[in-house]
Amino acid sequence: MSVVDAVRECTNRIEQHDAKIGAFVSRRDADALNDARSVDERIAGGASSGPLAGLPIAIKDNICTAGVATTCSSRMLASFIPPYDAHVIEKLRAAGAVIVGKTNLDEFAMGSSTEHSAIGTTRNPWDLDRVAGGSSGGSAAAVAAGIVPCALGSDTGGSIRQPAALCGVVGLKPTYGRVSRYGLVAFGSSLDQIGPFARDVRTVASVLSVIAGHDERDSTSADKPVPDYAGELQKPIAGLRVGVPAEYFGDGLDPQVKSRVTEAIDTLRDAGATLVDVHLPHMKYAIACYYVVATAEASSNLARFDGVHYGHRSVGHDNIIDLYAASRSEGFGDEVKRRIMLGTYVLSSGYYDAYYLKALKVRTLIKRDFEQAFQQCDVIASPVTPTTAFRIGEKSNDPLQMYLADIYTISANLAGIPAISVPCGFDDKGLPVGLQLAGGWFEESRLLQTAHTYLNRTDHHTKTPELTGTN
């Protein structure tokens, strides 16, 4: 198959399925075919074509792409066309990957279901009446439906791993600083990280090898060597210590999810790993801590979208205060407004010490929990989500219940450690369940080896949805 053939197959599948799913917000059909022809010509001419030559890939629409709209699924940025590529886009293009389109997300990456999108809800390919997860729901759904073999998302509190689990694909959040955030529209600057989705670990590893590495344009980018992640996948996990935290298996966890995850952990033991009980005592404070830190950073980052510096501008106003207020009221959706107000409140005079400063101290305690746990184990295994995919509209009017969908994922962002979701079975409704594996800082190789070993012993990731539902 030529690269042109592969890209045409992707565009055909978008035509065939995306009206039902709503994974894409924009497409690059003509430009993608031109890029594919260039790769085919380089391959035919014997020139260096790159480690990802011809790989069709979809990009979450909060990652800047030169000349292609980057909307963050918001009215605020409906007409924004970046004049530059994000660091990860530069690396993908240089490696020969072909970008076929941009994918839907919760507005400004704030949500857990991709229902908070100004463009429309993304539906789960396994059941079109259910959510695909969020905020990277479009990327996860596009991979799950077989539209593209790979996609990029961003993860601030679980936004790669949670939709990966609900859609039955592999999704990796790297260590904070492993992948440059240059060109990623900021939500929570100390939490955000870009990572890949795919149906298998090898593709995730190959893409990570390309997009990882130091970038001087991102002051938080780690200047550390990038391993050959795909080349190290076959290393055995015999003797690996897998930590099992009791705090992740308590009240609120669906019994079927618990059963599938427990079975997956037993599979790792059968592959030669040793199971170790570990404790993360401050995990119970993670939700409260996260929604102080993340909203505070969101309030600061989104202040630039005022209709003057950036973003949608309202018309018919006599003074700048009315212009600011109207532009932001018209441009932002309800969930983004809620988080901006929460963040502004916790940063305000008289409340900073009581909320924001205290949350930073709790964040340090959560990080120390992981440091102590990784003295006893190499990888921590847990559920990704408390339940399988819920119905569209089921939690959209209850922000607290929506926030609890990320209860098992946000602590990894607060600590900055890498974590991956891999498919580990299905519930009695045929909905996917995800196993989360978390590792020490910059231990992506070990994490990917463990995930790869697990997938080699199971076939859950090989199953594909039939795109059923009432939609």
3-state secondary structure of 122: coil
Residue tagged active-site, from 135, 382, 396, 445 = 135
Do 55 and 210 meet the contact criterion of CB atoms below 8 Å apart? no
Structure tokens at 300: 């600061």
Do 87 and 182 meet the contact criterion of CB atoms below 8 Å apart? yes
Instruction: Give 464-468's long-range contacts (Cβ < 8 A, gap of 24+).
Output: 464/144, 464/146, 465/125, 465/126, 465/144, 465/145, 465/168, 467/17, 467/20, 467/21, 467/125, 467/128, 467/145, 468/126, 468/127, 468/128
Do 167 and 154 meet the contact criterion of CB atoms below 8 Å apart? no
What strands lie across the sheet with 432-439, from one edge to the other? 24-27, 98-103, 56-60, 150-154, 194-198, 170-173, 419-426, 432-439, 379-383, 241-245, 274-278
Structure tokens at 351: 């409340």
What is the DSSP pairing of strand 419-426 with strand 56-60?
unpaired
Give the CA angle between residues 194, 424, 267 to the nearest 5°.
115
Structure tokens at 457: 């012993």
Burial (CB count within 10 angstroms: exposed 0-12, middle 13-18, buried 19+), residue 398: exposed
Single out the residue of 404, 391, 428 nearest to residue 132, CA to CA. 391
Cβ neighbours for 124, distance < 8 A, ≥ 6 positions apart: 130, 131, 132, 133, 141, 144, 166, 167, 389, 431
Residue 49: active-site member: no
Distances (CA, A) of 284 to 281, 288, 371, 404: 7, 9, 17, 11
Structure tokens at 29: 């059909």
Hey, how many other C-beta atoms are within 10 angstroms of the C-beta on 313?
Answer: 15
Residue tagged active-site, from 159, 221, 382, 411 = 159
**What distance in Å separates the CA atoms of residue 257 and residue 80, rounded to the nearest whole number?**
41
Residue 159: active-site member: yes
Distances (CA, A) of 111 to 36, 116, 350, 396, 439: 34, 6, 28, 10, 25
Residue 60: active-site member: yes
The residues assigned a catalytic role are 60, 135, 159
